[in-house]
């Protein structure tokens, strides 16, 4: 950041793209989260030592696997859709009640814990961190659903904060041998208490995976989506073939981090002041 300021560089960070309708085709986080959610479901299906769908054969009937998705943002919704297409019975939880209709439209059951509230969503559409008493109630309800699940895919992250712990060590101990947890919040510390980033953890027969860059496992399409996002963003900066920055445009003002030898925004200023200190 200091080098950008000292060099007079105009720089942008696409992960700060506002969650508004006009910016959907520039939203890099959503593009990558879509791929991560899909790949997490496929990864879980591959590592689970049983099949996902209901299957009736001459030798007997095999019941479907049960999947629990924690967090119903872009990655969570894609994980729900993929698990359903693979034939699993799917439940999903999120602290934001507004996503209930989206969860149910994909064929999953929405898990209610009693802590869901409209106040748990910030102005950017992201989930807020729960108070301690609400977290305790949430853990109590989720414990029963985790225990009955063959697969848990967790996606809950809070911008600029450590990921909330949704699956405790005791919950993991209650799961059946062979169960799989795919923790997409591993970069932020993990939603599972036992997650280790980019490692496989065997917790008494329960496999815990903590991938930190699943879109890289689908490089061609990840690059395709990212290039489209970047191209659409760059088109916002060009007027008649010339770069023109309109800082009244929220797409530009929220993503710009340095311009004309100055840091842009309180967060970037605080970052530089903290580094100097």
Query: What does pTM read for this prediction?
Result: 0.87
Q: Which of 19, 50, 85, 137 is catalytic?
A: 19
Task: Answer for the pair 22, 251: CB distance below 8 angstroms, yes or no.
Answer: yes
pLDDT for 123: 52
Q: Which of 6, 22, 24, 227 is catalytic?
A: 24
Going by pLDDT thresholds of 50, 70 and 90, the confidence category of residue 127 is low
Give the 3-state secondary structure of residue 257: strand
* Residue 126 annotated in active site: yes
Chain segment 76-124, per-residue pLDDT in tens: 999 999 999 999 999 999 988 889 999 999 999 999 887 655 445 555 5
Task: Answer for the pair 165, 194: CB distance below 8 angstroms, yes or no.
Answer: no
Strands 109-110 and 256-259: unpaired
* Residue 133 annotated in active site: no
* Residue 19 annotated in active site: yes
How high is the mean pLDDT of the chain?
91
* Residue 30 annotated in active site: yes
Give the 3-state secondary structure of residue 226: helix
Beta strands per DSSP E along the chain: 11-12, 55-57, 60-62, 66-70, 89-93, 109-110, 151-154, 180-183, 200-203, 206-209, 238-239, 242-243, 256-259, 262-263
Tokens of 196: 């280790």
Chain segment 208-224, per-residue pLDDT in tens: 999 999 999 999 999 99
pLDDT for 269: 83
Q: Which of 102, 109, 126, 135 is catalytic?
A: 126
The C-alpha atoms of residue 38 and residue 214 are separated, in whole angstroms, by 9
Tokens of 63: 């019941």
pLDDT for 125: 53
**For residues 269 and 12, which has the higher predicted lDDT (pLDDT)?**
12
Tokens of 135: 């977290």
Q: Which of 27, 94, 150, 183 is catalytic?
A: 27
**Average pLDDT value for residue range 163-192:** 97
57 DSSP β-pair partners: 60
* Residue 27 annotated in active site: yes
Domains and CATH numbers, the chain: 2-24+218-276 (3.40.50.720), 48-212 (3.40.50.720)
Is residue 97 packed enough to be buried (19+ CB in 10 Å), middle (13-18) or exposed (0-12)? middle
């Amino acid at each position: 950041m200091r080098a950008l300021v000292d060099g007079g560089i105009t720089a942008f960070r696409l992960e700060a793209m506002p969650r508004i309708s006009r910016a959907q085709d520039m939203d890099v986080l959503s593009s990558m989260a879509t791929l991560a959610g899909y790949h997490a479901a496929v990864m879980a299906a591959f590592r689970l030592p049983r099949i996902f769908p209901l299957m009736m054969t001459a030798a007997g009937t095999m019941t479907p696997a049960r999947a629990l998705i924690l967090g119903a943002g872009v990655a969570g919704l894609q994980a729900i859709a993929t698990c359903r297409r693979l034939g699993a019975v799917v439940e999903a939880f999120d602290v934001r009640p507004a996503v209930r209709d989206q969860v149910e439209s994909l064929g999953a059951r929405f898990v209610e814990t009693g802590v869901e509230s409209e106040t748990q969503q910030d102005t950017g559409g992201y989930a807020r961190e729960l108070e301690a008493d609400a977290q305790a109630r949430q853990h109590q309800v989720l414990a029963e659903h985790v225990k009955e699940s063959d697969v848990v895919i967790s996606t809950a992250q809070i911008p600029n904060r450590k990921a909330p712990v949704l699956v405790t060590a005791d919950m993991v101990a209650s799961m059946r041998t062979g169960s799989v947890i795919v923790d997409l919040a591993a970069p932020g510390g993990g939603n599972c208490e036992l997650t280790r980033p980019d490692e496989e953890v065997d917790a008494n027969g329960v496999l815990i995976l903590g991938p930190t860059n699943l879109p890289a496992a689908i490089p061609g399409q990840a690059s395709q989506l990212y290039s489209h996002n970047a191209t659409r963003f760059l088109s916002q900066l060009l007027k008649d073939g010339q770069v023109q920055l309109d800082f009244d445009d929220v797409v530009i003002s929220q993503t710009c981090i340095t311009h004309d030898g100055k840091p842009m925004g309180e967060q970037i200023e605080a970052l530089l002041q903290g580094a100097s200190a």
